[in-house]
Structure 1
Amino acid sequence: MHPLIFYYKVKIYTEKDRISTEIAALKSKGLSVGMVPTMGALHQGHLQLVIKALGENDVVVVSIFVNPTQFDNKTDLEKYPRTLENDVELLETVSKDQIMVYAPTVDDIYEGHAISEAFDFDGLEFEMEGKFRQGHFDGVGTVVKRFFEIVKPDSAYFGEKDFQQLQIIKKLVEKHHIPVKIVGCKIHREPSGLAMSSRNTRLKPNHKTAAPFIYKTLKTAKIKFGTESANKVMEWVENQFKNHDTLKLEYFLIADAKTLKPIKRKLNKKKYRAFIAVYAGEIRLIDNIALN
């Protein structure tokens, strides 16, 4: 690792040309660059990604950009929290001199054409979230590919809460021959067990109280998976939510951790994960857990 002190506080870039030039200058000195792509409204889960990236790179670029092409719900896009000032203050609690913030406008990223590129992720995009959020992963692939072209990081860090997204980004890098190492980081949870998410700030008090039930259910499902069939476990989870006063289950399934295909029958050499999406009022929460 190279010592690096070039800012007294986190510097914010809003234009791709400026940050690209800055990064090229850093790389010419032999410095390594990590990246943590985010949509802002940062929380401790994001900070854990940044801390890991700081431990493995000389400089870390944190992008803060609410990407319009990955929202299938216009209201969700409009209500998504935008808290740039607070985000920067939070990042400065971790490092003032090794973090660069890239907070572009939509035009800076899309140059007046906020349209998704069409991707083939070998079928990963059609499972789970892909079934319920049309065009979502084309939007994710488009913006992440664009970020990698602009920032050219050596490594990029993503949380396992969005496990399907993590697998899709690995596939993006593989199929498009992008020279960046993708690092998956474990889910960071609130003391209640609720997976940290920017959407949690929008939960009403009764929904916030009820939401830890999601992770509690996943943990029990993992135990049951040790002795029961996948179908039995899925049926049990569905019954847990059937009469829940506050939470509405959108889907629960058990899938191959690599292909994300739903399980047909348990095989000893396969790794499985359980995936869940739940509505707490109008807020959609996702989570997952490794089963073996």
Structure 2
Amino acid sequence: MDIPICWNTDPHAAYLAWQATEAAGADRRPFSGRSIVQHKAMFDRFVRHLSLRNTTLATFGAEHLESFFSDVDNRCAPGTTTRLRYTNLIDRLCRHLAVVGVRESNPAAIFLAAAAWPDDEPQPLFLDPAADAALQSYVQADASDDARMTRNRAVVALLLGVGITAAELRATRASHITLDGVRPHLCVPKRGPRLDRIVALPDFSTPALLAWQRYHPAPDETLLFPAPRTTDRPINDVLLGGIVRDALDAIGFTAPDMSPRVLRNTFARRLLLAGRTNEEVSRFLGLTSQRTVTRLRATIEVSALAT
């Protein structure tokens, strides 16, 4: 394959091949599958911008980056690192294109020199052990619960118990969960860059799920949590977010983010506190990168220093 020609004739395929075989981050480690998907989407957006201005990866200059970054700034909320992420991506791309003979200059270098990462990233939100225990108590099935409350407790019990994402919960089918036998567990299929995995259900989560199973017996291939009055459409994100927010309100937890992400972080941090390694916890989350778990472990280390 003629590499320079490929970058000019099919830049999308060339970029994906480079990401999958050679590209690496600042630590010289290959990018995770999830990062590659994100980088490819960012690259595609940049190439579309160049195409609309009748230029190419071989010929674009600083003026094209000015207009591109202006568009990025207009579409992103203040305080985000989106522009800096694009700057790093394009700088890395230009340096590679120079190595393979597609470009002679790197117009992104001056933008990178003027950029800087924020001093600190937002801290991940999670429930401390006391609040975690309170929510575990909240999800316990009650004989007076109606169908709606039974479903809501089961939803929160599953999110808190196995750390799946909102999208993964919405896609969960009855056949994915096993509540009988010695080891109740959830099978989480591969979804995009997230890996497939089997996660054991903790004792606190199974009563609520069994109660929902009795209220809502479903064939194996139907959704575990369908939208109200349907069987084939998943519960939507608005309703799911409301269920989690109501549960967090019930235990007195208030934070800028009251979404299922808080329960996923709590699950991961609970495993870290129990002695699991970063690699193990990342695997339970379906992640190939350990960045998320590393940030959560840092919150434990800071707490230890403060006591």
TM-score above 0.5, yes or no? no
How high is the TM-score relative to the length of structure 1? 0.22
Higher-Rg member (1/2): 2
How high is the TM-score relative to the length of structure 2? 0.21
Which of the two has greater helix per residue?
Answer: 2
Which of the two has greater strand per residue?
Answer: 1
